[in-house]
Amino acid sequence: MLRVLPLTLVVAIAATSVGLLEGIVPSIARGSLVAEQFSQEVQSPVASLPVEICLNLPDWQRPSQQVQEKQLQSMPRYGAALQEEPLLSVAKAWWSHEAFSFTTYGLSARTDPLYLSGLWTAMEETWDCYSGNQPDQINNGELAEVWLMHHRLLTLEWQDNQYVMTVEPSESGLQLVQFPRREQSQSLPLTLVTVVGEALPVMVGDW
């Protein structure tokens, strides 16, 4: 049997429901606002970093493997040792990378990176990158350095406690990039990505 509620009771129930809704809707709105603010706080800020391209040779070409091997074979420092470990693997690693990072500097310590990477063909042009107080800044953990072969720097950002460097591939070119550090890690927390989002391997060049 269907029972009909008194009109006064229906009105009271409706009024109570409206009151509840009026209390719930602002609560939901406040909850959404708090969640949005929390999300903004959790997300790590992205900061663009100043950089100095101390060497930019857009037409530079890495020497061919034949020219590279001939040069190294002619040097007593390498010579026959290139056919034996550990130098065999070390030389292959340097030759297979196009990006190198450095957090230390020493004149003798740059010799192997320069020759094994193939950058020896532009060696004279690199010295301007160390003509001031850059060597001290690098060794004091204030400055980092990256070599880019056949890639061009577009942006450098500090994100999620690491440096994110965006680069553009090119058929030629050499850039030596220096920038102030925001951390004191033993190894540089650096990620290189191309404009299409592909990761570019970075070899730690500290010798």
Mean pLDDT of the chain: 85
pTM of the model as a whole: 0.78
- CA distance linking residue 146 with residue 149, whole number of Å: 10
| Backbone Cα Rg of the chain | 30
* Domain parsing of the chain, residue ranges: 1-43, 47-204
- Does pLDDT of 35 surpass 80? no
What is the pLDDT, as a whole number, of residue 37? 46
pLDDT band at 44 (very low <50, low <70, confident <90, very high): low
Cα dihedral sign for 60, 61, 66, 69?
positive
> Does the N-terminal peptide bond of residue 86 adopt cis geometry, omega within 30 degrees of 0?
yes
Question: Per-residue pLDDT averaged across 70-98, rounded?
Answer: 96
Percent of the chain with pLDDT over 70: 79
Question: Per-residue pLDDT averaged across 74-96, rounded?
Answer: 95
